[in-house]
């Protein structure tokens, strides 16, 4: 949901380009959208592998894949939080 709102905000900013104070904010908004998209992709993979572990391989592979994906989600979420704070609190 956050990804959709960020996309809406970005499109509004593009329409109101003259009122948008800094080009850096638009670039940061683009990057934030990318990070949120990657996080969503990882979450979807977690759901899929959880439902069908054999997709990730045999033995310990599904468990290892889930562990790596969850770690990736945490990293991406932290990055998105920092970027969102910078963008929306006015640091950019």
33-65 pLDDT tens trace: 999 999 999 999 999 999 999 999 999 999 999
Average pLDDT of the chain is: 87
What's the count of helices (H) and strands (E) in the chain, helices before strands? Answer: 3, 0
Percentage of residues in the chain having pLDDT higher than 70 = 89
Give the list of residues 6+ apart from residue 84 with CB closer than 8 angstroms, or none.
2, 6, 32
How confident is the model at residue 62, as a pLDDT? 96
Tokens of 14: 């593009």
């Amino acid at each position: 949901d956050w990804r959709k709102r960020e996309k809406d905000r970005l499109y509004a900013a593009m329409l109101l380009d003259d009122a948008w104070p800094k080009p850096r904010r638009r670039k940061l908004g683009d990057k934030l959208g990318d990070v949120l998209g990657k996080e969503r992709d990882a979450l979807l993979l977690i759901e899929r592998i959880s439902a069908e572990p054999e997709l990730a391989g045999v033995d310990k592979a599904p468990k290892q894949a889930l562990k790596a994906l969850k770690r990736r989600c945490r990293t991406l979420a932290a990055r998105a939080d920092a970027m969102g704070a910078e963008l929306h609190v006015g640091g950019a």
